[in-house]
Structure 1
Amino acid sequence: MQGPSFLVIFALILCCFGSPLCEDVSDETPIHRLSTKTAYFNAEKDSSHWENFQNEVSGCVAQQAWLLVRHGTRFPTGNDMNRLVDVLPSVAKQIVFNHQQGRGCLPDADITQLTDWFPPYGPRDKEQLQEMGFEELYSIGEYWRDMFPHLFNVQYDPFKFKVDFTTKNRTGQSAYHFMRGMFGDDAIGGIELPQPYSPNFILKFYKSCPRWMREVYKNNETTYKERLLFVNEKEFQSVIHAVSAKLGFLHPLTTRQIESIYDECRYETAWWPNRKSPWCSSFSDHDFEVMEYYQDLKYYYEDSYGTPLNSETACETINNIYSHFRSTVISGKAVPQGIFNFAHDKTIFQVLARMGIFKPSQHLRHDNFAEMKNRIWKTSYVSPFAANLALVLYSCGSTYRVGTFFEGQPIPIPGKCESLLCQWEELQPWFDHNAQTCNLSKLCMIHDEL
């Protein structure tokens, strides 16, 4: 006869004597550490370069700005929504039952919220921008208007501003609310946004690249290998056992159930920042770190430095920046003076990788979680909802310089120049090389072995 499992014994001890795990049920959620579901207002922003930047930019005037913005906080995708609806109501019901039987650690307030719980969204909401996303994009539009009032605190003119977004509703909605923040509610009714198109090699190049789709996105054997291996590591297994015990289960929850609880926690935290989701009480601070790393292992190889093809496919986006800035440098006239692009987390990840920004000291792997705790590349920081990257062309007397901003804060471009405000002549060789070697048709062609 098989003896009782570790978790059964653990839960009985928890029930009868209490446990340090119950003391670890935090009233606080690390709202800045929720991977790609981190809300923009909650995301960490590095303002440490401002003083040096202000010294360098003295005497310079911004002439043209190119922005890439991820859509704002949204509802789940169709696949995620189906999973959450399938998994969570029954889990919530069992958590309440466990609590009634004297098992688990959740406080009464959380149990009350989980009683008769059902996901607060339906099929019509899938992939749509949530109200918090409206506020995020409106705020970002206001931010850039106030940053460069001579460029953006003006009457809207379609010849001065170029807007582009993908065919997904959430990017079009993001563009609308950004423009509303920049030009005002009175003006937005008169602004005609363009029709999105596909394929879009500037904003959604990856989906138009058959080679990337086959070798990266649909390559479970290679792309998701580290993530799958991490599930069997002690760090992730400890999360499974700790969460299961905290919720009063006498058996370990599945990875699918743990992911669903984590995702609902992340979504509800992004939507309603002033109230705590009861699902978040399932995790300790350490658990959140492990779950963030679990997410990082996916995106690092699917969209960033873990796979070289990711950065290579973003070359046309860099060409788009170059063509606009080069035209202004040659002619002395910035037309358009604002180029606003709205896309997705993959676009942000891959463009940043093309530029060499936030490159970690070593690859993220299933077996180096402890070593990488202070890594520079974290999805929570690199691509929260409404993440944005801006390059601004300045005229500085008789020369031109380029400043780079992430989340509205100045940052250096590693290896491209030695200052925060790069001389145009320093960047031009990199831009030229990118233009000369960028051939998406050749790069994305699938070469089958004969």
Structure 2
Amino acid sequence: MNFQAVLLSYFALACVVLSEQCSKEYPFQYYLGTRTPYRLVSNSTFNKIKYEDCKANKAWIVVRHGTRNPSTSNIENIQKQLPKIQELILDNKNFPNDVVKNRDLDLFRKWKSKLDMKDETKLTHEGEEEMLLLAERMQNRFPDVFDDVYSNTTYKFKYTHSQRTKKSAFYFAAGLFGKHTAKDVSFPEPLKNDPILRFYKLCKKWRNEIKSNEKVNGEYIKFTNGPYTTNMVKDFNQRLKLNKELNFFDIYTMYVACGFETAWNKQSKSPWCSLFTKEDLLILEYLEDLKYYWIDGYGHELTYKQACPAIGDMINHLNSSEQFPKVVAYFTHSGTLLKLLAHLGLYKDTEPLTADNFHKMNDRKWKTSLIDSFGTNLAFITFNCNNGHKILALHQENIVRLPPCADTDLCDFNYFMDYYSGSIESCDFNTMCDNTST
């Protein structure tokens, strides 16, 4: 059974396991797109991964920062829109009913936004814990590689120019060595636009022709204005029967709040989640998936081809005859992880996601709730085996099989190199990105 099948079967049981968080007949936590908390999709076992006649010797891991606070615009929307909707709900004489129950009203009475603009996009306590536990589990799985004694020759850490990746790197180091030692770990000064960790910031053609155009004319916009979303808004209003009709922007802001508040809190439920049906969330999640498919995924060849500098960095490290560093650990963002996954050929559907084929894509592989949660990570571990050099790939700490070795976990490194050699040999980044033109 593959990684996604395992997760989906687990999701089906989630409301039984987390019954105190489920006021509906489905686990709403698993439709939250890129705001999904890592605890829901990670492989949380600490079991050592070993293969007979093989010894792990190197690792390259790239990690999306842990759970964070919203951006400035999302904080503004939550603080401006949601108190008004909260008041409409609490003033509605039709509640409680089958749509909004007593326990939901109790949550709405207690709800208050505690967000502060000065804390926008900062790593939260949940994000710190995600990084600590990720590091501890990787160390348990691969003790020959992830030493618990820090040395700046054994480890190479790097993060982007942001508080959330800096703190993520620190708490990952704390999970490996303890907080006291983590304070002495050598972290290089971050670059504003790192050519490995955030290569897309340096790709002029992608920024100007793909990202900008998709935000204005893309499938995401078409779906937002299309019949599925329009009908969802209509059904939402008919179901709640508030004194004022809500628009798509109101509903999307509630969805954003539901996502962040679910990620922050393990035990308590966000009241905003209780207003959605499964059908609502399927549409809102597809909206997220469309956005990231066309901006960061398979929608345009350049989008994932430009990840070649990062792939080349990984191959150079793992293929080097140098013994050190044993571990390269990078801390970056959603856009980097998604482009890398697409470059590697993972989670590719047989047809592209579009505004018109929502009804056909229920079992799609490109599902950001599963593949791009907070704390998402991609790791490659090399093994010296009696029968040669091998490589293992992990995504969300689950073993994934790469296209060159679809029938085995441990991929022969020569097969791996042959398949992805173009990532180094034809990686003319400035040409593909049109950076040389005036």
Fold shared by both chains (TM-score > 0.5): yes
Q: Tell me which residue corresponds to 1:413.
A: 402
1:298 equivalenced with 2:287 (yes/no): no
Distance 2:44 2:305 in 1: 27
Pairwise CA distance, 1:116: 7.5
1:266 equivalenced with 2:259 (yes/no): yes
Conservation of the 8 A alpha-carbon contact between 2:42 and 2:398: no
Pairwise CA distance, 1:249: 2.2
Conservation of the 8 A alpha-carbon contact between 2:64 and 2:337: yes
Distance 1:25 1:189 in 2: 43
| Residue number among 264, 275, 282 corresponding to 1:282 in the alignment | 275
Moved more, 285-294 or 64-73: 285-294
Distance 1:237 1:71 in 2: 34
Q: Tell me, what secondary structure is at the counterpart of 1:219?
A: helix
Q: Tell me which residue corresponds to 2:353.
A: 364
Over the residues paired in the alignment, what is the CA RMSD in angstroms? 2.6
1:205 equivalenced with 2:203 (yes/no): no
Distance 1:220 1:304 in 2: 12
Query: Equivalences for 1:103-252 in 2 at 5 Å?
Result: 105-115=99-109, 117-220=111-214, 225-250=218-243, 252=245
Q: Tell me, what secondary structure is at the counterpart of 2:28?
A: coil
Q: Tell me which residue corresponds to 1:15.
A: none
Q: Tell me which residue corresponds to 2:380.
A: 391
Q: Tell me, what secondary structure is at the counterpart of 1:339?
A: strand
Conservation of the 8 A alpha-carbon contact between 2:258 and 2:273: yes
Residue identity matched to 2:358: F
Residue identity matched to 2:318: F
Conservation of the 8 A alpha-carbon contact between 1:103 and 1:247: no
With over 3 angstroms needed to count, the CA separation of the structure-2 counterparts of 1:45 and 1:190, relative to structure 1, is closer
Pairwise CA distance, 1:45: 5.4
With over 3 angstroms needed to count, the CA separation of the structure-2 counterparts of 1:234 and 1:396, relative to structure 1, is same
Residue identity matched to 2:390: R
Q: Tell me, what secondary structure is at the counterpart of 1:150?
A: coil
1:325 equivalenced with 2:318 (yes/no): yes
Pairwise CA distance, 1:294: 1.0
Conservation of the 8 A alpha-carbon contact between 1:25 and 1:106: no
Q: Tell me which residue corresponds to 2:422.
A: 433
With over 3 angstroms needed to count, the CA separation of the structure-2 counterparts of 1:407 and 1:44, relative to structure 1, is closer
Q: Tell me which residue corresponds to 1:11.
A: none
Q: Tell me which residue corresponds to 1:442.
A: 431
Distance 1:402 1:25 in 2: 44
Conservation of the 8 A alpha-carbon contact between 1:98 and 1:247: no
Gaps of at least 5 residues in structure 1 are 1-23
Pairwise CA distance, 1:399: 1.9
Pairwise CA distance, 1:234: 3.8
Distance 2:148 2:111 in 1: 48
Gaps of at least 5 residues in structure 2 are 1-21
With over 3 angstroms needed to count, the CA separation of the structure-2 counterparts of 1:101 and 1:413, relative to structure 1, is closer
Conservation of the 8 A alpha-carbon contact between 1:39 and 1:384: yes
Moved more, 378-387 or 392-401: 392-401
Q: Tell me, what secondary structure is at the counterpart of 1:196?
A: coil
Distance 2:214 2:141 in 1: 44
Distance 2:96 2:408 in 1: 61
1:31 equivalenced with 2:29 (yes/no): yes
Distance 1:27 1:93 in 2: 26
User: TM-score, normalised on structure 2?
Assistant: 0.88
Conservation of the 8 A alpha-carbon contact between 1:315 and 1:435: yes
Conservation of the 8 A alpha-carbon contact between 2:214 and 2:294: no
Pairwise CA distance, 1:243: 2.3
User: TM-score, normalised on structure 1?
Assistant: 0.86
Distance 1:254 1:365 in 2: 23
Q: Tell me, what secondary structure is at the counterpart of 2:292?
A: helix
Pairwise CA distance, 1:250: 4.9
With over 3 angstroms needed to count, the CA separation of the structure-2 counterparts of 1:44 and 1:230, relative to structure 1, is farther
Conservation of the 8 A alpha-carbon contact between 1:304 and 1:349: yes
Q: Tell me, what secondary structure is at the counterpart of 2:343?
A: helix
Conservation of the 8 A alpha-carbon contact between 1:160 and 1:338: yes
With over 3 angstroms needed to count, the CA separation of the structure-2 counterparts of 1:432 and 1:100, relative to structure 1, is closer
